[in-house]
Amino acid sequence: MPEVDLPSSGYEISSNDLTPETGWTTLYFDGTWETPVDRETEPVLNPTTDEKLTDVVIGTAADVDRAFEAAAAAQNDWAERSPQERSAIIDDAIDILDKYWAAAKELLTVESGATSLKAQIELTTAKGMMKESRGLPFQVKGSTEESLIPGKENRVVREPAGVVGVISPWNFPLHLSMRAVAPALALGNAVVLKPASPTAITGGLLLARIFEETGLPDGLLNVVTGPGSTVGDRLAAHPDASVVAFTGSTDVGKHVASTTAGHLATPVMELGGNNPYVVTEHADLDAAIDAGVYGSFLHQGQVCISINRHLVHEDVYDEYVGRLADRASELVVGDPLERETDIGPVITDKQYEEIATLIKKSINGGATLETGGAREGRFIAPTVLSDATNDTAAACTEHFGPVAPIVPYSNDSEAVELANDTEYGLAAAVQSTDLAQAEAIAADIEAGSVHINDQPINEEPHIPFGGTKASGLGKFHGEQFIEVLTESKWISVQRQPRRYPL
């Protein structure tokens, strides 16, 4: 579990300052909040109670065009600002996030079904992304290169890419929006952000509120709410988009990537996963169970990098199954506004039905229900399925719920074969006190990240993050993301007369 950061002290917040009822039926263009007249809206629901929190505007392709127009007009001046000025905006945004910490935490709870722990983790990771981003303007490096031509000096400089489109998901809305928005702004770009509809506030409009208070120049951050089929498609296809950062399912990501590449913009995609968790015969089972519970059930399993399959050596299989089921059965399921709650609701009725169906199909296919299963409302108790195989319904797909299929294996080669028997390659983890064994297994697993003696829910703001195979394209964070958000430019200076052959 990552360390949980605490907000800075000394801030007071009005009860009317940031609530679900506070003016979210609006779009954010060019530094202005606009409530379109006679425009359709859609409700944002509390997934625990199904009560309406607010309405948000159903944006249009024309709204996206307006957002890009504002972004493109503002970006050149922003690119010319000094690194110190751009860094200072991110610093101010960190202070404002601290100011809104408690209110933002409650918004994450009522809008996304986050438990208190998950909301605190998400705020902490978002703040970590911002802290890393404030240093990015000083990490952009040019170079002077030798030339094949006498008297020529070659310079390679990096300039902002331009306008960055961001399409973010509903599961970690603030964090997964901020990890693209903050570095894009810090590196001199403008941004058009489309949040997921279920989390339009915490994934989009809240970020506009934060950066508005920093004094970010108008036009550099624009937020358009609405469905992917209109707003998302137009964003990906817009000719002024230089980069499109997307986090979501593989099927939708393929569509977004192909649309983006169609006008020669750069797609950066974090997509689906089917993440293996290998528990060897040499694992410390106490540590493996602790990590397995966290890696499977944090945020109801609605995490792209959560454990999808527990691959457990046959020598420790029975003990692992029993102990994981015992721990899972002790987790408290209920309204996440209650501090002691460990498991909140899944995000929508559709998501609930899909997970419940996968559990039922898994049992009908031969898996044994050790604990858990569907409950009333949108609650699914932490579910442990033994006697699973790689073909079990909940194991062969990205189930995106609080479900732990446990698959036995007999040797390291089989563990690797099972781990790689999927179209995905996002994240993985290996548990073993024999580090040579763990490192050998980790080296052979096809995934963008593999964590030894840990679980796969890990993301650090300075480490390149992304998947292989059907799990993604490009990387967030680190030098690789700087290269995406900037473009190299070759400037040569001929310092002495050049002789030409013609």
The torsion region of residue 386 among left (phi > 0), alpha (psi -120 to 50) and beta comes to: beta
Crossing angle for the helix pair 206-214 and 173-186, nearest 10 degrees?
Answer: 30
Tokens of 186: 């810090």
Report d(CA 45, CA 276) in Å as an integer: 33
304 an active-site residue? yes
The answer to whether residues 118 and 299 touch, using CB atoms and an 8 Å cutoff, is yes
User: Side chain identity at 473, as an amino acid letter?
Assistant: L
User: Side chain identity at 230, as an amino acid letter?
Assistant: T
The torsion region of residue 47 among left (phi > 0), alpha (psi -120 to 50) and beta comes to: alpha
111 an active-site residue? no
* Options 111, 122, 132, 270, the catalytic residue: 270
Residue 3 CB neighbours (<10 A): 8
DSSP codes joined into one string, 412-456: HHHHHHHHH-SSEESEEEEE-S-HHHHHHHHHHS-SSEEEETS-S
Report d(CA 265, CA 242) in Å as an integer: 5
Q: Can you say whether the dihedral through the CA atoms of 95, 1, 467, 252 is positive or negative?
A: negative
The count of residues in the chain is 502
User: Which has the closest alpha carbon to 223: 194, 198, 184, 247?
Assistant: 194
Q: What is the DSSP letter of 282?
A: T
Give me Rg for the CA atoms of the chain. 24
DSSP codes joined into one string, 35-54: --TT--EEEEE-TTT--EEE
User: Side chain identity at 226, as an amino acid letter?
Assistant: G
* Options 69, 111, 132, 304, the catalytic residue: 304
Active site residues: 270, 304
